[in-house]
Chain A
Amino acid sequence: MNRRSFLKNTTASGIGILSPIPYHMLLDQNITKITILHTNDVHSRVDPFPQDGSRNAGRGGAARRASIIDRVRTAEEHVVLLDSGDIFQGTPYFNFFGGEVEIELMKRMKYDASTIGNHDFDNGLDNLVKLMKTADFPMVNCNYDYDDNPLASVTQEYKIIQKGDVKIGILGVGIELDGLVPKKLSGNTKYNNPIPKAQATANKLKNELGCDLVICLSHLGYKYKDSKVSDVKLALNSENIDIILGGHTHTFMRSPDIHRNMKGEPVIINQVGWAGLMMGRIDLKFEKNKKGKCLSCENLFVS
């Protein structure tokens, strides 16, 4: 485990306004701890990689993931479990059972939401809809259009979760499908530029619906050399999104990437490789206090 407290000490000015009251002396009721667990690009890896001497031999596996989730849920009151897409494709489990094993596992682990990855179309639109109808968590996406498209019935633009005193808004964005997903599979799912769509959804979540935290589940990819839209581009060119949990590029991060958005506020980008080899855990502490006054804020988030 490589635990990193990365927001502290990010600016000198942050340290200059250290709270005069020690953190532990704050009333408990003012502090809410939210624990986010997240995966991406699990790609039907139900079992650990086979013990064949290859690089990932013996690593991963749904049963391990479930036990980690259980352990965290036992220790923490407010846990949110999220996935950033490409649940499917990559092992015979998907070829033989068409995705029902993966979705049933996510149900049993009590995922709160996922987004749509390009490979989630791999057995066609109708199959995806059929599977998601059995799921008790939604796929969130705000940049695909589904006129007369059955996917509309199993996707949501966003999902709001209340954890203690904290209202969490979760939205999702998906990658350009042209050239990546055969038309036959994605049907009339239409891609729109994710940045304005995510922006509009985030604005709604923060300004109209009163969310304290906005998380974007993204299957755009971490970053690219060319001008292609990515998590970094989304972070830099938006506001009201606090955390981007990414996927698609199978990026193993050593620490989260933090960028400033258009308002100069920090956006945390995180991604955990692929195949369920690791899980991301983000522990957030919220302090309920007067606007602009945060006693335990020791970091960039001091406004």
Chain B
Amino acid sequence: MKIGKFCIWAAFIILLSIGCKSKQLVQHLADADVDYIQLDDSQNNNASIEDFIGPYRKQVQEELDGVIGSVSEELRKSKPNSNMGNWFCDLLEDSAKEIFKETGVDFAVQNYGGVRLGSIPAGEITKRKIFELMPFDNTLVNVEMDKETMQKFLDRIADYGGWPISRSLKFSIQDSAAVDIMINNQPLEDKNYYVAMPDYIANGGDDCYFLKDSKKEDSGLYIRSVVIEYLEMLQAKEISAEIDSGERIKMKE
């Protein structure tokens, strides 16, 4: 009995001391230093990483230098209309009609600020040019809007002094509002329209907050990629995208 009790006590104490010993030692975070290492030209390049990147870089350069079409005249960006805006949005309308076949597309709009080149010289167009024209990763979205929303949307464009629009829309700006609206050669009527545009606008950007809750379909495709693919398709068929210098938005006194 006594020995038994002693053994139990001894075992308990041994276990306790082992337990305490292993529990006693802990890691204390004693000090922390933070440093921000700048990746400027004071840093060397790792040679094997450079070797790995090399072939990819070459391929990117070659791809970007690839010709995907041509324009017969210089394209210039301006408000309220421009041949660049017309050219670009016509490409968007045509490709959007393919992408959103089921719902259909009435016209295409691109916000002025999303187009980042002031001019594209006459001649061959490379992929790099389209990347420069559209550096933002905006996707193409088809937005449903009723008559009232359409009026609001076009008023917003009018207030901005005009944005690039495709051939199926025409209107005039009078006192910062949209008047004489013609969509597919029909005056604005009480029905649902479908407008292809960048997700940025469709999600309420550039003060188009009233589009935020609209019914919409996002293609998940970058506008840049859509335009590049459409130009490549035209090139394969040996067709040049038309350039229209016509006035789609008129200024009305």
Contacts and interface: CB of A to CB of B under 8 A. Distances in A.
Contacts of A104: 52
Given A59-B40, A63-B50, A65-B39, A101 B31 contact: no
A66 B49 CA distance: 7
A283 B49 contact: no
Given A2-B36, A68-B39, A95-B225, A105 B49 contact: yes
Contacts of A256: 34
Contacts of B53: 46-47, 62-63, 101, 105
A290 B137 CA distance: 54
B39 A64 contact: yes
B216 to A, nearest CB: 11
B38 A59 contact: yes
Interface in A207-261: 212-213, 242, 253, 255-256
A213 B43 CA distance: 31
B139 A182 contact: yes
A277 B39 contact: yes
Which of A58, A92, A279, A302 has the most chain B CB within a 10 Å cutoff? A92
30 contacts: A1-B37, A2-B36, A59-B38, A60-B39, A61-B39, A62-B49, A63-B47, A63-B49, A63-B53, A64-B39, A64-B43, A66-B46, A66-B49, A96-B63, A105-B49, A255-B34, A256-B34, A272-B36, A278-B36, A287-B27, A287-B28, A290-B24, A290-B26, A291-B23, A294-B28, A299-B32, A301-B29, A301-B30, A302-B28, A303-B28
Chain B contact patch, size range: 35 or more
A286 interface: yes
A92 B62 CA distance: 11
For the complex of A and B, the 8 pairs showing the least CB-CB separation, nearest first, are A66-B46, A294-B28, A63-B45, A212-B27, A67-B46, A285-B31, A281-B35, A66-B49
Contact of B27 (A89, A93, A288): A288
A288 B220 contact: no
A70 B45 CA distance: 11
Given A6-B32, A93-B56, A179 B46 contact: no
B241 to A, nearest CB: 21
Contacts of B26: 212, 288-291
A7 interface: yes
Nearest to A276: B39
B27 A286 contact: yes
Contacts of A46: 53, 56-57
A95 B64 CA distance: 11
Given A62-B49, A62-B53, A282 B33 contact: yes
A47 B49 CA distance: 11
Contact of A242 (B29, B57, B225): B29
Nearest to A92: B60
A287 B30 contact: yes
A290 B32 CA distance: 20
A108 B23 contact: no
Interface of B: 23-41, 43-50, 52-53, 56-57, 59-60, 63-64, 131, 137, 139, 203, 218, 220, 225
Given A61-B39, A289-B25, A185 B46 contact: no
B52 A105 contact: yes
Nearest to B31: A285
Contacts of B139: 182
B33 A3 contact: yes
B143 to A, nearest CB: 14
Given A63-B45, A92-B131, A291-B26, A284 B32 contact: yes
Q: What is the interface of chain A mostly: helix, strand, loop, or mixed? A: mixed
A27 to B, nearest CB: 13
Contacts of B43: 64, 67-68
Q: What is the interface of chain B mostly: helix, strand, loop, or mixed? A: mixed
Contacts of B64: 92
B96 to A, nearest CB: 16
B37 A92 contact: no
A268 interface: yes
A2 B48 CA distance: 29
Contacts of A272: 36
B203 A4 contact: no
Nearest to B40: A59
Contacts of A96: 56, 59-60, 63
A278 B38 CA distance: 4
Interface in A103-141: 104-105, 108-109, 122
Contacts of B49: 62-63, 66-67, 105, 108-109
A280 interface: yes
B38 to A, nearest CB: 5
Contacts of B39: 48, 59-61, 64-65, 68, 276-279
Contacts of B29: 212-213, 242, 284-286, 297, 301
Contacts of B24: 290-291
Which of A6, A66, A285 has the most chain B CB within a 10 Å cutoff? A66
A163 B29 CA distance: 14
Contacts of B41: 58
